[in-house]
Amino acid sequence: MVNGIERPLDLLNNAKGKEVLVQLKNDKQLVGTLLAFDIHINIVMDNAKEMANGEVKRNIGLTFLRGDTIIFISPASLTASTQAAEKKG
């Protein structure tokens, strides 16, 4: 596939070391740098901040986040096509 994402975990692998937005089931959001993940979608983020309505509510820093609390994980402000371009560039 042109963007190099054949399985869902490929996206998380590509996002390692990058800024991600994590939407939680409890309606909160975390932004921070994705450092690691496993097959349960447990993740480690660095410089994590809890956001609400676009404002920082809490600085959490380095954190281990359980996968079963997550709705989605998005590399910040990227689409697959810009990501593919980045890889070639």
Q: Which listed residue (26, 53, 87, 89) binds a copy of itself by CB under 8 A?
A: 26
Rounded-to-integer distance, Cα 65 and Cα 50, Å: 12
The vertex-16 CA angle with 83 and 69, nearest 5°, equals: 110
> Is 18 one of the binding residues for a copy of itself (CB under 8 A)?
no
Q: Which listed residue (19, 35, 49, 51) binds a copy of itself by CB under 8 A?
A: 35
Rounded-to-integer distance, Cα 6 and Cα 77, Å: 21
Q: Which listed residue (7, 53, 87, 89) binds a copy of itself by CB under 8 A?
A: 7
> Is 88 one of the binding residues for a copy of itself (CB under 8 A)?
no
- Dihedral sign, CA of 54, 57, 61, 66? negative
> Is 24 one of the binding residues for a copy of itself (CB under 8 A)?
yes
Question: Shortest CA distance to 34 belongs to which of 6, 7, 85, 72?
Answer: 72
The binding site for a copy of itself (CB under 8 A) comprises 1, 3, 5-12, 21, 24-27, 30, 33, 35-38, 41-44, 46-48, 60-75, 77-81, 83
